[in-house]
């Protein structure tokens, strides 16, 4: 059953239902309802922020999301404007005329910022599932808000069905936020029209260290206008400030419509906490009163788990982990890495022994084990940072894997060399790497005949982003693993605005008949920039 490709809410840019554009008066109207944790007005002006106005029944103005899709289960998320009981109704019919099932959910309250999830079980595989989220007054279940409707497809159990997904990262960075003059984050509307099975959100899903101002000057004399909120007026330090960063992006109608149709597979990188952070770091940034990065990371991790449908992270569970594998039927496994939580400190990267590296010992062992177990035709390794692109951290240290030394692996490269050697020696085929982070798009091919370290099978790394952040020039490649750029498009100078440098995203499509995998690098409004088709089981392509 096909999904109707239309806006669920209408218009090119709309604030959530129940929100209205206002200035100081709106701030006062919101003040009476701060117990619900809604976003307040940050400043009035050309892009005045939405102010919250309560209605008589619970509502979900921040929309809905789905995720953790399997053949028989899925997780649905929402946020209420007040304490409420969450229910989900499902049906194979978009009109809900038959096959309706009712799924009870949790009480949404201040402990989770009024967010919550319901995990749906016993779903049919490979089918379009329509769902409605209903919020009810916890003291009077008859007082229900207006249902919010969405859709997702469960994982196929047959190879015959094509698989399509999109990926990108880096949203609302470098001060470039929701610009109503441009219609907001229109890239999400464009990606939605491709009707993907899911969206791989490749890190920097928010910029908790990037305040959003009401306006920014552009090079040609024009002015960029932002929607603003209190929580986005400074760097995030408190739990509610981190929560406010996730609420901010959900003010955009394009993103909410996208979330209602396309399941999300989210990973994090540095800006969910702070630029270039690593465990144990103590900040010297005068913008922060909390200098312990581990404290900031714990708050960011909790907010991340509250605002994405990742049930293992909800409530700040210590046992929850960011790295995981999504098995999307016989054709595809996606290995979502966490190259942030388990890394060692950024350094010049010249160590001859580095067991911690960028993944940590446990995550590396998990990845090797799960890759060996995988029977999928394609194994996508979703890395929040690139492998061969040199990403500096200051004058002497390095932020990603590569450190510019052209010789044999050193520092964090040692861990990647171990992984690549494992893939080759275990005869694991169909691996490719997808990443974002560097704010441009590229296709890089890695080959042992060009490398200082040659004990690996050739593979591709595809780079995309940013979705809504500053564009940057292309970085240099480190020759250790023999990368060669087959395509690159980037900004000519640092921090080029999204109006001058439109967003990039990537699309992956796997043909259910031939098993061929096609990667397309795309740009908002500009169509396909680069295409590469890979063949299943073939080494050296």
Q: Quote the pLDDT of residue 28.
A: 28
The burial class, CB within 10 Å (0-12 / 13-18 / 19+), for 17 is: middle
Q: Higher pLDDT residue, 119 or 39? A: 119
Of 457, 440, 439, 461, the closest CA to residue 448 belongs to: 457
| Per-residue pLDDT reduced to its tens digit, 211-251 | 999 999 999 999 999 999 999 999 999 999 999 999 999 99
The arithmetic mean of pLDDT across residues 66-89, rounded, is: 97
User: Residue 118: CA atoms inside 13 Å, Cβ hemisphere, count?
Assistant: 23
Q: Quote the pLDDT of residue 6.
A: 34
| Per-residue pLDDT reduced to its tens digit, 188-222 | 999 999 999 999 999 999 999 999 999 999 999 99
Q: pTM for this one?
A: 0.90
Is 471 in contact with 440 (CB distance < 8 Å)? yes
| Per-residue pLDDT reduced to its tens digit, 483-528 | 999 999 999 999 999 999 999 999 999 999 999 999 999 999 989 9
Is 481 in contact with 388 (CB distance < 8 Å)? yes
pLDDT at residue 21 tops 50: no
pLDDT at residue 39 tops 80: no
| Per-residue pLDDT reduced to its tens digit, 287-303 | 999 999 999 999 999 99
pLDDT tier at 56, thresholds 50, 70, 90? confident
pLDDT tier at 160, thresholds 50, 70, 90? confident
pLDDT at residue 5 tops 80: no
pLDDT tier at 23, thresholds 50, 70, 90? very low
pLDDT tier at 18, thresholds 50, 70, 90? very low
Of 466, 457, 406, 404, the closest CA to residue 432 belongs to: 457
Is 329 in contact with 157 (CB distance < 8 Å)? yes
Of 94, 58, 60, 88, the closest CA to residue 76 belongs to: 88
374 beta partners: none
Say how many C-beta atoms besides its own lie within 10 A of residue 178's C-beta. Answer: 30
pLDDT tier at 312, thresholds 50, 70, 90? confident
Q: Quote the pLDDT of residue 77.
A: 98
pLDDT at residue 41 tops 60: no
pLDDT at residue 46 tops 70: no
Q: What is the mean pLDDT of the chain?
A: 90
Q: Quote the pLDDT of residue 317.
A: 52
φ, ψ of residue 131 in degrees (nearest 5): -140, 155
Q: Quote the pLDDT of residue 17.
A: 37
User: CB within 8 A of 95, min separation 6: which ones?
Assistant: none
Helix (H) / strand (E) element for 197: namely none
Which residue in the block uniquely carries the two structure tokens 């450190």?
403
Query: Could you tell me where the DSSP H helices lie in 185-292?
Result: 186-192, 239-249, 253-261
163 beta partners: 510
Alpha-carbon radius of gyration of the chain: 22
Phi-psi region of 99 (alpha: psi -120 to 50; beta: other; left: phi over 0): left
Percent of the chain at pLDDT above 70? 88
User: CB within 8 A of 295, min separation 6: which ones?
Assistant: none
DSSP 3-state of 175: coil
Q: What fold is seen in the domain 165-534?
A: Purple Acid Phosphatase; chain A, domain 2 (3.60.21)
Is 315 in contact with 328 (CB distance < 8 Å)? no
The arithmetic mean of pLDDT across residues 35-56, rounded, is: 46
Q: Quote the pLDDT of residue 320.
A: 72
Q: Quote the pLDDT of residue 537.
A: 80
The arithmetic mean of pLDDT across residues 130-151, rounded, is: 95
């Amino acid at each position: 059953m096909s999904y109707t490709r239309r806006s669920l809410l209408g218009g090119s840019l709309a604030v959530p239902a129940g929100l209205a554009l206002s200035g100081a008066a709106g701030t006062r109207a919101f003040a009476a309802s701060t117990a619900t944790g809604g976003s307040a007005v940050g400043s009035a002006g050309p892009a005045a922020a939405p102010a919250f106005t309560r209605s008589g029944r619970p509502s979900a103005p921040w929309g809905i999301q789905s995720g953790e899709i399997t053949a028989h289960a899925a997780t649905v998320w929402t946020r209420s404007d007040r304490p409420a009981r969450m229910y989900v109704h499902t049906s194979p019919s978009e009109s809900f005329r038959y096959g309706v099932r009712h799924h009870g959910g949790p009480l949404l309250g201040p402990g989770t910022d009024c967010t919550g999830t319901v995990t749906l079980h016993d779903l049919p595989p490979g089918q379009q599932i329509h769902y409605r989220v209903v919020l009810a007054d916890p003291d009077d279940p008859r007082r229900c808000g207006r249902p919010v409707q969405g859709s997702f497809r469960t994982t196929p159990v047959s190879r015959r069905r094509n698989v399509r997904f999109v990926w990108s990262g880096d949203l609302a960075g470098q001060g470039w936020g929701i610009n109503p003059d441009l219609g907001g984050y229109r890239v999400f509307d464009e990606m939605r029209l491709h009707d993907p099975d899911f969206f791989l959100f490749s890190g920097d899903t928010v910029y908790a260290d990037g305040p959003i101002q009401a306006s920014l000057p552009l090079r040609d004399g024009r002015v960029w206008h932002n929607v603003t909120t209190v929580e986005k007026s400074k760097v995030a330090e408190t739990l509610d400030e981190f929560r406010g960063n996730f609420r901010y992006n959900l003010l955009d109608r394009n993103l909410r419509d996208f979330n209602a149709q396309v399941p999300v597979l989210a990973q994090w990188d540095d800006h969910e906490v702070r630029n270039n952070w690593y465990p144990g770091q103590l900040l010297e940034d005068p913008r922060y009163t909390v200098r312990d990065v581990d404290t900031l990371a714990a708050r960011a991790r909790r907010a991340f788990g509250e605002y994405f449908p990742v049930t293992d992270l909800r409530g700040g569970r210590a046992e929850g982990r960011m790295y995981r594998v999504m098995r999307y039927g016989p054709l595809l496994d996606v290995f979502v890495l966490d190259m942030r939580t388990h890394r060692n400190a950024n350094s010049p990267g010249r160590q001859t022994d580095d067991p911690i590296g960028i993944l940590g010992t446990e995550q590396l062992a998990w990845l090797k084990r799960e890759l060996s177990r995988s029977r999928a035709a394609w194994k996508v390794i979703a890395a929040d940072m690139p492998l061969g692109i040199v990403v500096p951290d200051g004058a002497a240290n390095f932020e990603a894997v590569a450190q510019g030394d052209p010789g044999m692996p050193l520092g964090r490269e040692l861990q990647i060399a171990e992984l690549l050697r494992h893939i080759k020696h275990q005869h694991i085929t169909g691996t490719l790497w997808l990443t974002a982070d560097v704010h441009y798009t590229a296709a890089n091919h890695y080959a042992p005949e060009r490398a200082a370290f040659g004990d690996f099978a050739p593979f591709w790394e595809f780079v995309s982003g940013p979705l809504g952040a500053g564009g940057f020039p292309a970085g240099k490649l480190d020759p250790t693993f023999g990368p060669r750029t087959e395509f690159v498009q980037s900004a000519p100078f640092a921090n080029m605005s999204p109006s001058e440098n439109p967003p990039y995203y990537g699309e992956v499509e796997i043909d259910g008949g031939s098993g061929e995998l096609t990667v397309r690098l795309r740009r908002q409004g500009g169509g396909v920039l680069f295409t590469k088709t890979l063949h299943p089981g073939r080494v050296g392509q």
